[in-house]
Structure 1
Amino acid sequence: MSNQEEITQYNILQSIENGEQISQRQLSLQLGINVASINFALKKLTKRGLVKMLGVNPRRIRYILTPKGIAEKTQLAYKFFDRNFHFYKAVRKNVENKIDSISFQDKDSVAIYGVTDLMEMAYLVIQDKEIDLVAIVDNEKKIRIFGYQVVGIEEIHKHSPRFLLITKELDVHLAKLIPDSVEIVDIRI
């Protein structure tokens, strides 16, 4: 079974488990898959004994998970978690290696540019290494994250970082606003 088929199967099983009475059309809309594919997948799941159809009127058919279906859904969730955890560890190692390659000296500070998933990972690595994070910078998102108010690139000079870790594309015009004293380090993967 392909990865996409597993994801579709898991999503259908999850929706059936969560929904009181869900139609093929509702599943189609919810999962963004055409009704014919939902019908085919449900027939396959029924044949494998993972889903049971109740009712005879096609407009009122109800789907329920069997104990075997619940076990299969749990197994699929574990597979996804295991795959994603390995991916997470590989990406984190890559980020760690890039940060380790920076020649930090006493009292050096960093800022991170880009509110992204990669920024979150860089934040965790920085915390583990006890590096002084002075700002999170992004010109698109003005939010509060990890206790920091995200600031625009034009405000970076107020925080005086020695390094700016880049986690998303930095516009050329914005790059001109970075003081010469700040070394840019691209940690994107």
Structure 2
Amino acid sequence: MDKIDLRTLQILEEIGQDGQLSQRRLADRLGISLGLVNSFVKRLANKGYFKIINTPPNRFVYVLTPKGFAEKARLSYKYITYSYRFYRNARHQLRELFIELTGAGVGSVVFAGISDFAEIAYLSLQEVPVTLAGVVDDADGRHLFFGHVVRPVHEIAGFSYDRVLITDIEHHERLQTLLEQMGIARSRIRVP
């Protein structure tokens, strides 16, 4: 599923839930720029996915049309199909990796990066005798990941581990570079 389809689905879902959203609030909810939201809203309205009704004082109400409901359903199905394939492929890939690591005598790993892939990796890790020594990420703030406190990447030196598994595939190059700059040998870093 490409980013345009995903954004379209997100906007149609938000409008379906609250047709009185301002574009600024929609931009905040989706974490994208106001200009991008404006561009999408115009394009989707021109395609007939919703009607824009002007109400005083200078407010707009968005009403999904039957064509908009149909597009939302089509994109939802596409997203679910994409997500299932992603999950199935990730589970297979991780199962093979953990079997390989177990065969190589690896007893513990650190996850580098929090993502959907990291969650799948955690579930896959439960099937092998490899323990999760810790979790690091380059995002700000500490939070929990399956009971593990997520620490900044530079704190990886405080963990005892055999391998680092990069579990944010979208930012794997940046994380790998950061880890190598910290002196972690490339042979100890795995990118699935």
Global fold match (TM > 0.5): yes
Who wins on radius of gyration, i.e. which is larger? 1
Q: Which moved more, 1:75-84 or 1:139-148?
A: 139-148
- Structure 1 residue 83, shift from structure 2 partner: 1.0
* Per-residue deviation, residues 113-160 of structure 1 (Å, max 9, x unmatched): 41432443322111023x241511437575442223456333334xxx
Q: Which of the residues 175, 181, 185 maps onto 2:184?
A: 175
Query: How far apart in 1 are the matches of 2:183 and 2:142?
Result: 16
Percent identical pairs in the alignment equals: 23
Match of 2:172 in 1: none
Query: How far apart in 2 are the matches of 1:71 and 1:95?
Result: 36
Question: Any conservation in 2 of the 1:165–1:185 contact (CA below 8 Å)?
Answer: yes
* Per-residue deviation, residues 41-65 of structure 1 (Å, max 9, x unmatched): 21212xxxx4234458894442212
Residues 3 and 146 of structure 1: is their aligned pair in 2 closer, same or farther, counting only changes over 3 Å? closer
SS in 1 for 2:126: helix
| 1:114 has 2:115 as partner | no
Match of 1:51 in 2: 50
Query: How far apart in 1 are the matches of 2:157 and 2:3?
Result: 43
Match of 1:92 in 2: 91
Match of 1:180 in 2: none
Q: Which of the residues 31, 35, 38 maps onto 2:38?
A: 35
Match of 2:6 in 1: 7
Provide the TM-score with structure 2 as the length reference.
0.66
* Per-residue deviation, residues 91-117 of structure 1 (Å, max 9, x unmatched): 232222122112156xx6212241432
Match of 1:21 in 2: 20
Question: Any conservation in 2 of the 1:24–1:39 contact (CA below 8 Å)?
Answer: no
Gaps of 5+ in 2: 167-174
Matched AA of 2:62 = Y
